[in-house]
Structure 1
């Protein structure tokens, strides 16, 4: 069987509509479940386009998450990150058995029970920020007033990072996610964040506090007799960035989608019991971190009838999978009562997002509270004039003017 020719499109493709994937995704699915594509970096890789195949790939141990593997798909011309002498892998870069052991160390911090214990504090944070919005001038920027500070405060309190330093880490995380940033600037941002967290972990080692990092320090000393300092720094790095960037962008995008679809918004206004289903649908609908599911084959493996050889890179196109008509009827429609939770917006398999329970709860609280307390909320600018993050690895909005 001949291999399919490399597609003409160069990945990643830009979303031409904020509410839809690039049109080429449907063409890719129709052409076949696995297609050869060209990346902006000049590398070629396989694109897995259908939900069933993406889920299969993400549970198959023959696909590696090691971003330093020479075959791992590098999307951008900025090139492959260099493994430095002081590099400590984070969960996102690990494969079994190291990944399972490292994840088990911290997974207890993100159980449904522990997340529910945070609920009153998250509600308080949301209410305080909406109080400030209502007391301030119109229009307000929902990104700076609500979308960004709420998850930033929550992840800071959870980890034990001083929120007073939020400008420092938000600027650097934004640089890391910017597709157009040059390698030197990105490296500097990584170094500065690592140095900051290295100092923070050292401080907590001397005086453990009642937060995730402090509890991990005490747990490691009790179970292992010592603290894996570099591993804690690496974990804090990942959780700090992922813990606020993703949720912040989903708050903004979800608000725009709900305001642009008043019939759908009415569903959760009339019955807040449906908000959690609405959150799942919004996550599927936007799929903001679609390339987190990239992998490299460590041996020959067949996916969707296509042989992928050892060392070849694979893009698990989670956004394409989440709009797959074979998996979701009328997949391009926003249907808050769809009730489908088999999407891959949080990934799937061993690397499924560690903080997904926290993200769901934050989104549920924000949407319920925002539209209950400001029922007349509306956009203060047309959607086609909003500054969407087309240059970021995590889709979202730079600002969102609203009024009421």
Structure 2
């Protein structure tokens, strides 16, 4: 089964930077909306900010683990869930997350900043040496976070073309499920080989640390699942934020100048870009554990709930004039990184990468501009993580 781009479910549609007008209108209606997900399964759609926080923040009423797994040929359900934090509930989720949390603290991420700055500078040097025009996606936005996550995990950077291709296909909702299943099998085989290598000779990277310090507590499949999730999430999300965020800033030159020239403006700007863009359309589905209600809407045990993050982050309950990008506004407690026990583990790393990359790019090329009016076709539609296929720039 596949989904054509023009037949995308409402919760994954976009109008360039914005959620579609149809989904925005749902926020003003009472209750919740009955929709179908990308696999045709019925679900209740949550579009308002407070309702989103309620669902995402209550793992006892709304379960990640009880959502039926999507069958993948060649991978059984137990293997699919092993190590996949987003497919687990406490206490299984708590056990695995506790092993990883120390590697993603703000203090630990600060130690990585000098290396991230080096990586950013190297790619800006290459762009400058090659001269304009440049495709920001292929020359900067994608390779920078890919190299960072490869070094963090211990994944050979020479393998990036293959793992980037597999990651892109795994989150592509327009591909037939058979193709996505085949790619998932390939990805598991690749990660399994890396885990075997780490077991034989654990390095100083994250995978090596897990083997050395927790090898007796984690199964092989759990190690594979953890590494797969971190690799995909670690480069797909930040890469698309760098591309979309750059375009958003270029369309607001006065705000781009603020990010470029005022170091104190960078951190709030990152939060505002996260809120405004919310590139993960929706949180992974939750299953209702027991009869309950949200926004006055009765929900029966076993039903499925989808939380539309992009809509929630454009709610007037969160920010004044939410459809307007304002990097100078006080940082709003957005849900672009999720909320509750499944709040994005790598958020400190993503924030640091963006806070490093955006001002460095704008300082290096103060006359940065798109080569043409970016057409809708260059936005990457039909994927779980929204982004851009290309972004041609000049200076």
TM-score for both structures, normalised by structure 1 = 0.91
Instruction: Name the structure 1 match of 2:273.
Output: 282
- 1:336/1:20 CA distance change after superposition, 3 Å: same
Evaluate the alpha carbon distance shift between residue 297 and residue 19 of structure 1 in structure 2; reply closer, same or farther with a 3 A threshold.
Answer: same
Assess, with a 3 A threshold, how the Cα gap between structure 1 residues 216 and 51 changes in structure 2: closer, same or farther.
same
1:265 and 2:256 are equivalent in the alignment: yes
Q: Deviations over 1:240-275 (max 9, x none)?
A: 000000000000000000001112112222312111
Matched, 1:158 2:152: yes
SS at match of 2:27: helix
Matching of residues 118-267 of structure 1 within 5 Å? 118-221=112-215, 225=216, 227-267=218-258
**How far 1:16 moved relative to its partner?**
5.0
Compared CA separation, residues 22 and 180, structure 1 to 2 (3 A): same
1:75 maps to: none
Question: How far apart, CA to CA, are the structure 2 residues paired with 1:391 and 1:63?
Answer: 26
Matched, 1:11 2:5: no
Maintained 8 Å contact 2:191/2:227:
yes
Q: Structure 2: state its 5+ residue gaps.
A: 1-6
Alignment match, 1:42:
40
Q: Does 1:112 align with 2:106?
A: yes
Report what 1:329 is aligned to.
Answer: 320
Find out whether 1:32 has 2:26 as its counterpart.
Answer: no
Q: What CA distance in whole angstroms lies between the structure 1 residues aligned with 2:257 and 2:93?
A: 43
1:3 matched to which residue of 2? none
Contact 1:322-1:343 at 8 Å conserved across structures: yes
Aligned residue number for residue 354 of structure 1: 345
Instruction: Determine if contact 2:83/2:223 at 8 Å carries over to the other structure.
Output: no
Structure 1 81/299 Cα, relative in aligned 2: closer, same or farther at 3 Å? farther
RMSD of the alignment, in Å? 1.8
Matching residue within 81, 85, 88 for 1:91: 85
Contact 2:319 2:332 in 1 (8 A): no
Query: Which residue does 1:364 correspond to in 2?
Result: 355
TM-superposed CA distance for 1:381, in Å, is 1.6
Taking a change above 3 Å as real, the CA distance of residues 210 and 89 of structure 1, as seen in their structure-2 partners, is closer
Would you say 1:65 and 2:59 are equivalent positions?
Answer: no
Per-residue CA deviation, residues 203-245 of structure 1 (Å, 9 max, x unaligned), is: 1111110000111111114xxx465222111100000000000
Q: Do the aligned partners of residues 377 and 194 (structure 1) sit closer, same or farther apart at CA in structure 2, a change above 3 Å counting?
A: same
Secondary structure of 1:364's counterpart equals helix
Q: Which residue of 2 aligns with 1:402?
A: 393
| 1:290-343 deviation line (CA, Å, top 9, x unaligned) | 222421101112211111110111111111110001221101000101222310
Structure 1 residue matching 2:287: 3-state secondary structure: strand
**C-alpha distance 373-105 of structure 1, shift in aligned 2 (>3 A):** same
TM-score, normalised with respect to structure 2: 0.93
Q: Where do 5+ consecutive residues of structure 1 fail to align?
A: 1-8, 73-78
Residue 383 (structure 2) aligned to one of 387, 392, 399: 392
Return the alpha-carbon distance in structure 1 between the equivalents of residues 340 and 78 of structure 2.
30
Deviation at 1:85, TM superposition (A): 5.8
CA contact (8 A) 1:378 1:403 kept: yes
Rounded to whole Å, the distance in 2 between the matches of 1:245 and 1:41 is: 22
